Structure 1
Amino acid sequence: MSIKTSKFTKEHFTTDKAKFTEKFNNLFAKRIPFVFIIDYNVNNLLIEKITDADDKGISFIFPGLKNISDIDVSKNVNLSICPPSYDKYLRGFEIVRKNLLEGNTYLANLTFKSEIYSSLSLKKIFHKSKAKYKIKYNDDFVLFSPETFVKISDGYIYTYPMKGTVVAGDKNAAANLMEDEKEIAEHLTIVDLMRNDLNMVSSEIEVTKFRFLSEINTGNRQLLHTSSEINGKLTKYYMENPGEAILKLLPAGSICGAPKKRTLEIIKTAENYNRGFYSGIAGVYDGKDIDSCVMIRFIEKNSGKMFYKSGGGLTVYSDPKKEYEELVNKIYVPVN
């Protein structure tokens, strides 16, 4: 089986991780604000001073920091979507399920891309969307992510894995989400994984908030998500070399699964496509703190067509029909 690749304009990216981390650590030490983008496979890395970001085609709006102001886009976002067939999804699901039953993975995040159609450009979608984290890179991709990856502040590192989704309009939606056996197992697994990941770069790991709810307006429905907050005290080495700490934690646990190495192999086979920058990470440094997000809620433009990439976590309790519905429900542009 051949794997289709995405074609991004990558002239500002490097494949040299050492070069990336050196620039990251130097700018951090000099307290020079910067923005960075890293793809899912950690093969393409970009880091630019915020003062240079616009010239390199990067637009971003993060909490408390941005390099562009939103403009009013009066036209509604109408997406026509063509998700993968249920049969195609089921083939990938069964590959993951087999490995779940054999104990090769305990949680695997299965994703697919869906062709979408919209009268709006990526630029207009960027400005129309409402999200905690927004990024557009040239005319290649746009994302409006609700999920924090890590924050680094005053020698501490924080992560906020988001696992568990339900349509908020359903009867007793919040209670059903909080009590669902599959959702609990999924969230416990990802919290344990992220605790272990933080342990590679920090000590005194704590889960300070466990399974708190957040709500997102997709335009035609509300979605509820559960997240947790985990933090640790960076070791002396990683306090001085935060770029290496970031890379050591990749790919982000919430978009692959556990155990991470084996699960990455399983989902590569099950998905049969390259995620590209989808489910990578992006972040900013404001001269004091680092904030970053997982690049989900993601639209890519390729050969004149637009594709939305989405998915969800699978456990042995997963129902394929419900998981397929979740994948489709995540295809939206948040507008409120």
Structure 2
Amino acid sequence: MSKELIKEKLNKFGFEKEPFLFVISYDFSKFYIEKLSNLSDSIKYQLDNKEESKQNIQNKISLEKFPISFKEYKKKFDILQKEIKKGNSYLLNLTAKTKIKTTLSLDEIYENTKSRFKLRFKNQKDDFVCFSPERFIKIEDNNIFTYPMKGTIDAKFPNAKEKILTNQKEMAEHTMVVDLLRNDLGIVGSNVRVEDFRYIETINAGDKELLQVSSKISAKLENNWSEKIGDILTSILPAGSITGTPKKKTVEILKDVENYERDFYTGIFGVYDGKNLDSSVMIRFIEEKDGEKFYKSGGGITCDSDVFLEYEELLDKVYLPF
């Protein structure tokens, strides 16, 4: 039911050429769609931001992590490997919730994180901050673009760029996501093209820099695409980069194995400005519930994955990018 309501409201605002913000949870169970002119003061956002953070609060930074145990993670990892061997999936993005302690409030985190896409969201039921490096889709001049990110490495490693680009596991994982999203764009558009395959971007990860592998995929849309924003988004969600392939079966497997609610984490947020649309996948995500903070993170699992490295990646992605 929520999915249909989301589609209906998005299409309505798009038809009216009404600038609006949309925030959609991973499973469509929650959403916030509102005219930019009516936004609550407790909701702030930045899209494709290239500015530095506003303040220097290095002396205030502290982050303690209380993650799931390696034993518990391995149990989930092993189940996914069995599903892969059965042929039920080829790539699954396994995520987990990590309790954290920090001296910073969610507002301070939003104001000071250096990230391309940021959202501070608070209402009666939900309270979270997202500082994502990953764009979901962008629509300009009847063209739709998506930019899957899959594959990271510490920039300090010797020959880091060469290592990540020649790693066979990383190549396979990225190729599968690109193929999935190419097919997704084919659902809503025509003349689908992979314009740039596996290029490197530098991501600020707090006390270090990461090299992130991305690709650029495009397709053509009809001239009246704004009247179908709801159809477009609901047809290609959830995002392939944070689920896996084949998408439908992989989502079912992850729901059983992860054993927690992703909620808004790995959903999307974005803005239609009356002419164009831009959006982000909600990764790098901290929520607050009952006075406690939780950081949600994860990574892609394939048949070639190493459980120790994947667990380490899960923890490495729990950071504050100041």
Normalised by the length of structure 1, the TM-score is 0.90
Percent identity of equivalent pairs: 45
Alpha-carbon RMSD: 1.9
The letter of the residue matching 1:292 is S
**Equivalences for 1:101-180 in 2 at 5 Å?**
101-138=85-122, 140-180=127-167
Partner of 1:29 in structure 2? Answer: 15
Partner of 1:59 in structure 2? Answer: 44
The letter of the residue matching 1:60 is Y
Contact 1:73/1:124, CA 8 A, preserved across alignment: no
2:26 pairs with 1:40: yes
User: Residues of 2 paired with 1:101 and 1:245: CA distance?
Assistant: 33
Give 1:319's match in structure 2, choosing from 302, 306, 310.
Answer: 306
Displacement of 1:51 after TM fit?
Answer: 1.7
Alpha-carbon spacing, 1:64–1:274, altered in 2? closer, same or farther (3 Å): closer
The letter of the residue matching 1:276 is D
2:171 pairs with 1:188: no
Classify the secondary structure of the residue corresponding to 1:125.
helix
Partner of 1:253 in structure 2? Answer: 240
Bigger mean CA deviation after superposition, 22-31 or 46-55: 22-31
The letter of the residue matching 1:30 is E
Contact 2:113/2:131, CA 8 A, preserved across alignment: yes
Displacement of 1:64 after TM fit?
Answer: 6.6
The letter of the residue matching 2:32 is L
Displacement of 1:77 after TM fit?
Answer: 2.6
2:200 pairs with 1:213: yes
Classify the secondary structure of the residue corresponding to 2:39.
helix
1:2-49 superposed Cα distances (whole Å, 9 cap, x missing partner):
xxxxxxxxxxxxx63333333322322333211000001111121011
1:46-69 superposed Cα distances (whole Å, 9 cap, x missing partner):
1011122134x311111379xxx9
User: Residues of 1 paired with 2:49 and 2:19: CA distance?
Assistant: 13
Partner of 1:72 in structure 2? Answer: 55
Alpha-carbon spacing, 1:243–1:89, altered in 2? closer, same or farther (3 Å): same
Displacement of 1:239 after TM fit?
Answer: 5.0
Displacement of 1:73 after TM fit?
Answer: 5.7
Displacement of 1:215 after TM fit?
Answer: 1.1
1:255-291 superposed Cα distances (whole Å, 9 cap, x missing partner):
0000001101111122111111100011111221100
Classify the secondary structure of the residue corresponding to 1:113.
strand
**Which ranges in structure 2 are unaligned for 5 or more consecutive residues?**
none
Partner of 1:10 in structure 2? Answer: none
The letter of the residue matching 1:58 is I
User: Residues of 2 paired with 1:21 and 1:81: CA distance?
Assistant: 38
The letter of the residue matching 1:18 is E
User: Residues of 1 paired with 2:3 and 2:312: CA distance?
Assistant: 37
Contact 1:201/1:238, CA 8 A, preserved across alignment: no
User: Residues of 2 paired with 1:326 and 1:18: CA distance?
Assistant: 36
2:289 pairs with 1:289: no
**Equivalences for 1:290-309 in 2 at 5 Å?**
290-309=277-296
User: Residues of 2 paired with 1:267 and 1:117: CA distance?
Assistant: 27
The letter of the residue matching 2:46 is I
Classify the secondary structure of the residue corresponding to 1:103.
coil
Alpha-carbon spacing, 1:54–1:70, altered in 2? closer, same or farther (3 Å): farther
Displacement of 1:169 after TM fit?
Answer: 1.2
Displacement of 1:221 after TM fit?
Answer: 1.4
Partner of 2:71 in structure 1? Answer: 87
Contact 2:12/2:227, CA 8 A, preserved across alignment: no
Alpha-carbon spacing, 1:263–1:17, altered in 2? closer, same or farther (3 Å): closer
**Which ranges in structure 1 are unaligned for 5 or more consecutive residues?**
1-14
User: Residues of 1 paired with 2:310 and 2:288: CA distance?
Assistant: 25
Give 1:97's match in structure 2, choosing from 74, 78, 81.
Answer: 81
2:227 pairs with 1:240: yes
Q: What is the number of equivalent residue pairs in this alignment?
A: 318
Displacement of 1:114 after TM fit?
Answer: 0.6
Contact 1:35/1:282, CA 8 A, preserved across alignment: yes
User: Residues of 1 paired with 2:227 and 2:259: CA distance?
Assistant: 39
The letter of the residue matching 1:109 is N
Contact 1:161/1:190, CA 8 A, preserved across alignment: yes
Partner of 1:226 in structure 2? Answer: 213
User: Residues of 1 paired with 2:49 and 2:172: CA distance?
Assistant: 34
